Amino acid sequence: MVDAVERFLLGERRSAPAQRELATIVFTDIVESTQRASAVGDRAWRSVLDAHDSVTRREVERHGGHVLKHLGDGMLLTFDGPARAIRGGGALRTELANLDLEIRAAVHTGEVERRADGDIGGVAVHLAARVLGLAGPGEVLVTGVVKGLVAGSDLRFDERGRHRLKGIDDEWDVHAVQL
């Protein structure tokens, strides 16, 4: 009934407020995937990606996370806590190495907007994606936010300095996880 009244009075229904929630975001990327796909061909590469996806789903679920979407040669994942995300990223790196795949990963915790289709958006997602661009082969990088949130854990980090990330106003501390 409220929808009908809104449409009558306003000429349209107002959009629902965005559903924001705190999440730990992880982006992964297969190192040198384009070169490998070119070398083995599409059919063989599809088999490699299928194995990658299977291992990723298993490890992410084992660490309490969720696979949100495939990104060609990587994934967008969420976890309910940063330590789980870091450990999940480390386990994923190890398990995919058994398939002769090397990945890089980035972890950030922040507020995201949950979309109707289950996807997420917002500045925190963009920030995590930009940090992934700084990661080298085999690295799991985290923002200073993540490092602060896992203080007191047994996780250790190497400083990677302050970075101005494309499209983000502030500089961000970045750290490499010692796995």
164 burial (CB, 10 Å; 0-12 / 13-18 / 19+) is exposed
Amino acid identity, position 100:
D
Question: Given this model, what pLDDT does residue 16 score?
Answer: 57
Give the mean pLDDT of the chain. 91
Contact between residue 159 and residue 122 where contact means Cβ atoms under 8 Å apart: no
Residues with Cβ within 8 Å of residue 64, at least 6 apart in sequence: 79, 80, 81, 84, 88
Integer Cα distance of 17 and 99 in angstroms: 44
What global pTM score does this model have? Answer: 0.88
Calculate mean pLDDT across residues 114-141: 95
| pLDDT tens digits along 47-98 | 999 999 999 999 999 999 999 999 988 999 999 999 999 999 999 999 999 9
Q: How confident is the model at residue 1 (pLDDT cuts 50, 70, 90)?
A: low
Question: What is the percent of the chain where pLDDT is above 70?
Answer: 90
Distance CA 19, CA 3 (A): 19
157 within 8 A of 176, measured Cβ to Cβ: yes
Output DSSP code: residue 13: P
For the segment 158-173, the average pLDDT, to the nearest whole number, is 91
| pLDDT over threshold 60, residue 6 | no
User: Between β-strands 171-177 and 65-70, what pairing exists: parallel, antiparallel or unpaired?
Assistant: unpaired
Q: Tens digits of per-residue pLDDT, 19-35?
A: 899 999 999 999 999 99
Percentage of the chain lying above the pLDDT 90 cut? 82
The predicted structure's pLDDT at residue 7: 61
pLDDT value at position 11? 65
Answer yes or no: is pLDDT of 4 > 80.
no
